[in-house]
Amino acid sequence: MTLPVPLPTALVVGFDGSDEDRQLATLAVDLAHALGARVEIVRAMDMASGDLPDDGPSRIVHAGMAQRVAERAREAREQLEHLAQAMTARVNAEIEVRSRLVEGRPFEALRTAAEPAGSWLVVGARRARTLLAHTVDQTLRNAKGPVLVVPDGCTWRTKGTVLTGIDAGELDALVLKISEAIAARLQRRMGIVHVRTNGDESTMLRVTEHVRSVAPSVSATATLSVMRVEGSIASTLADHARRVGACMLVVGTHGRRGVERWVLGSTAESLAHRSTTPFLVVR
């Protein structure tokens, strides 16, 4: 099987007008600059006004609502343009930074914007169970390509390893390939971690042989750790990434749904509410 080109050509950033998402855009632009990718900042709004009613009073009310929607859209466009200009200046115009306002729900707008091959989605994670947090969950469940999730308050680390979480399964070859490409472009070291509910010295040997077989180019230089689950896989990965000072965590997801997802749980979605390190989810 031929693996796809691992590095992105574009980072598509979700923006809702908040200070948190402005910081998200800043991190995305810094990362895109390091990776040589362009940036597209996307904001979704419900701008539908419908046809005006025939009767006088209702027509006046409806026209007023349509005017307010138009004003909100104008303000949002201006905010996006100013943000794109600020981000372009931040990287001295060395990469392209574009912005656009689209109609629709946030997840659907982001998914459409990231459809071109080579695009990665970038979304912010909220600690509270809000509509924005729900958008992150929906994105992780349904996005077709890689998704970079950035917890609130994160800034791009100028140091730190690219840490890769593996499960000794079929996705590891792709996950390790992407991690290797990111680490090489950023000139960072790679770390690999495998989390298990149980294991012994033979487990380390089996995982080491597995890494050698699927990613021989990284097995000699990356640091490999096999850890026991502490609480959950997501919390163990998040804690380990924080302890080693990783600049990014890379994990894979099979995109399970229905009963299988309910039984196995979703490490990616759990990480969105536990990790303090930006993490990339590879489908």
**Is position 2 within any domain?**
no
**Is position 207 within any domain?**
yes
In 3-state terms, what secondary structure has residue 135? helix
Least confident span in 2-11, 57-66, 82-91, 256-265: 256-265
- What average pLDDT score do residues 240-252 get? 94
**Is position 108 within any domain?**
yes
pLDDT of the residue at 58:
57
Q: Using 50, 70 and 90 to split pLDDT, how confident is the model at 53?
A: very low
> Are 22 and 70 contained in the same domain?
yes
Q: Distances in Å between the alpha carbon of 188 and those of 128, 161, 221, 272?
A: 32, 6, 11, 24
Task: Tell me the pTM.
Answer: 0.86
Question: Of 119, 151, 183, which closes a domain?
Answer: 151
- Specify the residue for token string 């012994």: 200
Into how many domains does the chain fold? Answer: 2
> Are 189 and 127 contained in the same domain?
no
Give the domain range for residue 20: 10-151
- What average pLDDT score do residues 30-42 get? 95
Where is pLDDT greater, at 224 or 131?
224
- What average pLDDT score do residues 86-91 get? 97
> Are 188 and 146 contained in the same domain?
no
Pair 238, 277: CB distance under 8 Å: yes
Q: Distances in Å between the alpha carbon of 69 and those of 43, 64, 102?
A: 15, 9, 13
Element (H, E) at 190: strand 190-196
Condensed to tens digits (0 to 9), the pLDDT of residues 192-221 reads: 999 987 767 788 899 999 999 999 998 788
Distance CA 101, CA 76 (A): 7
Task: Classify residue 81 by burial, with Cβ atoms within 10 Å: 0-12, 13-18, 19+.
Answer: middle
**Is position 169 within any domain?**
yes
Q: DSSP character for 230? A: B
> Are 57 and 185 contained in the same domain?
no
Element (H, E) at 244: helix 233-244
Nearest to 157 by CA among 248, 221, 222: 248
Where is pLDDT greater, at 153 or 260?
153
Give me the residues paired with residue 248 across strands: 162
Condensed to tens digits (0 to 9), the pLDDT of residues 129-179 reads: 444 456 777 888 888 889 999 988 787 887 899 999 998 888 899 999 999
Q: Using 50, 70 and 90 to split pLDDT, how confident is the model at 4?
A: low
pLDDT of 265 strictly over 60 = no
> Are 146 and 15 contained in the same domain?
yes
Give me 92's structure tokens.
């001295």
> Are 248 and 132 contained in the same domain?
no
pLDDT of 260 strictly over 50 = no
Pair 281, 165: CB distance under 8 Å: no
pLDDT of the residue at 259:
36
- What average pLDDT score do residues 46-65 get? 57
Here the CATH number for the domain that contains residue 252 is 3.40.50.620
> Are 129 and 261 contained in the same domain?
no
Question: Of 129, 151, 173, which closes a domain?
Answer: 151
In 3-state terms, what secondary structure has residue 154? coil
Q: What is the DSSP string of 79-116?
A: HHHHHHHHHHHHTTTSS-EEEEEEES-HHHHHHHHT-S
Mean pLDDT (the chain) is 84
> Are 216 and 122 contained in the same domain?
no
pLDDT of the residue at 56:
57
User: Can you say how many angstroms the Cα of residue 151 is from the centroid of all Cα atoms in its chain?
Assistant: 10
- What average pLDDT score do residues 258-275 get? 62
User: Can you say how many angstroms the Cα of residue 150 is from the centroid of all Cα atoms in its chain?
Assistant: 6
Task: Count CA atoms closer than 13 A to 12's CA, side-chain side.
Answer: 26
Give me 41's structure tokens.
């900042």
